[in-house]
Amino acid sequence: MAIMRRVLGGFFILNLVFCCRAAVIAAEPANTVPVPGVLVPARLFSTRGGLGYAQFCAECHRLDGAGAKGIFPPLSRKTAGAMPNGPAAQTETSSQLFTMPSFGVLSDRELSEILGFVRKSWGNDAVPGVKEFRQNFGNREAEASGVKVPRLANLLAQTKGAQLVRGMRLLTETKSMLPENVGSELNCASCHLEAGAVALASPFTGVYASFPGYSPRAGRVITIEDRINGCFIRSLNGKPLAVDSPDMKAIGAYLKWMKGTGSSKGKVVGRGVGKIDRALRPNVQNGQKVYATQCAACHGKVGQGLIAADGRYIYPPLWGDNSFNIGAGMARTYTAAAFTKNNMPIGLQANFPLGQGGLSDQEAVDVAEYFSHQPRPDFPKKANDWPKGGRPGDARY
């Protein structure tokens, strides 16, 4: 049924594209302000609908609404009402048919704010209303029990709203906002999905309360700023951010706000990236196959990421010079496997919020071993890690 819908959609869109080219161009974005790297509507960060979009839609349709060619349709143009990318998603690297996750957990108010934002920002009046949206894309499933998903839209009503929004943006646009500190082509939110609001994608909900805390890797008690800088120098292969800088304070303020959003009685539900059975032994040959069929469409044939014609990164690299270094948690097989199992590939199921999941534990271990052990930058300070023991078995050094 879904496939039928797509095939029909693909047929109609051809006509639509030819007949309406002029109209499409005329409807191209008004109201855009330059942000280093991306062109986004001004109201993206100043309205509830914009922040809702940034949280729940941008991972696939991107902050600028341009989508990803052959994978996720642009919302910044009038293509709605048809499924332009259904059949096109079957590229040479991928037999996947990408789909929308279910947004049954968003309230009517939230959905209407988001759809209103899309319509207004990009002049796309073909975007459906709430009722039609729910009919088209399903309205199944309740939110997984115990996980209260924080809403970025609520940032605006906080006393230090502007600082909190900046903190959130520093996590999602890290590379373009802090080029001096980021040595890779990743953002914090490349892994801490939706600015840290996704369970088992190492969410930030509540972690603030766990710091200062003992870190076996450092062999001492570390602060939240130490932990953040740990990800700057390893996961982003970059340089630490000055602890007293306004940007570090904004990130800290945002994490502190998150403390009150998703935790229940001091316990962070869905903390970390989940667990995977370490008795499963990786099969790299199978990992390479899983990569080609399940990952390459978005992360590139050779792990380089998906790069737009103008050089901007649409989807992040998984290995090579622009990826995380060997000191990152993601460079470890079983951390990468748990992350992959719980969060990737996206857009293939109804699961909230990213339609993620579907690999078996074994496939996740296989593909994780394959991509995590590809060439990537060294971590010069590796000799200082785990000074008092406790080195995990899958560490790279």
Contact set for ligand HEC, span 73-132 (CB under 6 A)? 73, 75, 79-80, 82-86, 98-101, 103, 114-115, 118, 127
| Segment 244 to 273, residues that bind ligand HEC, using CB under 6 A | 251, 271-273
- Exactly one of 54, 153, 168, 186 binds ligand HEC (CB under 6 A); that residue is 186
The pattern of x and - marking residues 23 through 42 that bind ligand HEC according to CB under 6 A reads: --------------------
Selected range binding ligand HEC among 37-45, 155-163, 325-333, 380-388, rule: CB under 6 A: 325-333
- Residues touching ligand HEC, count (CB under 6 A): 72
- Token duo for residue 318: 């998984």
- Exactly one of 257, 352, 371, 379 binds ligand HEC (CB under 6 A); that residue is 371
Q: Does 57 bind ligand HEC (CB under 6 A)?
A: yes
57 phi, psi to nearest 5 deg: -120, -30
Q: Does 327 bind ligand HEC (CB under 6 A)?
A: no
- Exactly one of 32, 51, 56, 258 binds ligand HEC (CB under 6 A); that residue is 56
Q: 150 near 262, Cβ under 8 Å?
A: yes
Measured from the CB of residue 150, what is the shortest distance to ligand HEC in angstroms?
A: 15
Q: 215 near 273, Cβ under 8 Å?
A: no
Alpha-carbon dihedral sign for residues 120, 150, 213, 342: negative
Question: How far apart are alpha carbons 48 and 43 in whole angstroms?
Answer: 9
| Segment 133 to 162, residues that bind ligand HEC, using CB under 6 A | none
- Exactly one of 257, 315, 334, 379 binds ligand HEC (CB under 6 A); that residue is 315
DSSP three-state, residue 68? strand
Comparison of 32 and 168: residue with beta carbon closer to ligand HEC: 168
- Give, to the nearest 10 degrees, the angle between helix 284-294 and helix 361-372: 90
**CA-based angle 95:344:369, to the nearest 5?**
95
Q: Does 201 bind ligand HEC (CB under 6 A)?
A: no
Cβ-Cβ contacts under 8 Å for 177 (sequence gap 6 or more): 36, 169, 170, 247
Selected range binding ligand HEC among 20-28, 35-43, 70-78, 215-223, rule: CB under 6 A: 70-78
Q: Does 44 bind ligand HEC (CB under 6 A)?
A: no
Q: 113 near 75, Cβ under 8 Å?
A: no
Q: 354 near 60, Cβ under 8 Å?
A: yes
